[in-house]
Chains A and B, each alone.
Chain A
Amino acid sequence: MKISNRDWVQLSSYLDGEMNSREIKKIEDRLTKEPLLQLALEELHRTKLTLQQTPTLKVPHNFILTPDMVGSKTRPRPVRRYRLASALMTFMLIGILVLDFGRTFVSGSMAPVAPKEVMLEAMSDSAADALEEPALMEAEGMLESDRAVAETEAGAPLEKESPAPQVAAEAVEEGEALGAAQEAESKSTEEETIDADATANQAEEWQENEDAEELAVPSQTFTPEIPGTPVPQPSPSVYFPDDEIHRIEKVPSIDPFRILEVIFGLSALSFGIAAWVIRRRKS
Chain B
Amino acid sequence: MMDLQDQIKKSLAGDLESFNQIILSFQSLVYNQAYRIIGEPDAAADATQEAFISAYKKLHTYRGGSFKSWLLRIVSNACYDEFRRRKRKPVVPLYPEGEDGDEMDSASWLEDPSEKPEDTLLRRELSEAIQYCLDRLEYEFRTIVVLVDIQGLDYASAAEITDRPLGTVKSRLARARNNLKDCLQGFKELLPHGLRQVGEV
Contacts and interface: CB of A to CB of B under 8 A. Distances in A.
A36 B23 contact: no
Given A43-B200, A54-B36, A65 B56 contact: yes
A58 to B, nearest CB: 8
B45 A53 contact: no
Contacts of A58: 28
Contacts of B171: 5, 9
A16 B159 CA distance: 15
A52 interface: yes
A5 to B, nearest CB: 7
Given A8-B178, A18-B154, A46 B127 contact: no
Given A48-B177, A54-B36, A55-B125, A60 B45 contact: yes
Interface string B116-159: 00000000011100100000000000000100111010110000
Nearest to B14: A70
B192 interface: yes
A60 B195 CA distance: 30
A12 B130 contact: no
Contact of B28 (A9, A48, A56, A65): A56
Contact of A47 (B23, B35, B180): B180
B174 A61 contact: no
Interface residues of B, number: 50
A24 to B, nearest CB: 15
Contacts of B57: 70, 74
Contact of A70 (B16, B41, B152, B201): B16
Contact of A12 (B32, B56, B177): B177
Contacts, number: 123
Contacts of B145: 51
Contacts of B162: none
A16 B148 contact: yes
B125 A43 contact: no
A67 B49 CA distance: 14
B13 interface: no
Contacts of B2: none
A66 B24 CA distance: 14
A50 interface: yes
Given A43-B199, A47-B177, A64 B24 contact: yes
A65 B198 contact: no
Contacts of B181: 43-44, 46-47
A52 B197 contact: no
Given A43-B198, A44-B177, A51-B180, A63 B130 contact: no
A106 interface: no
A63 B177 contact: no
Interface in B145-190: 145, 148-150, 152, 154-155, 170-171, 173-175, 177-178, 180-181, 184
A52 B147 CA distance: 11
B150 A12 contact: no
- Give the 6 A-B residue pairs with the shortest CB-CB distance, closest first: A12-B174, A51-B149, A9-B174, A64-B20, A47-B181, A8-B174
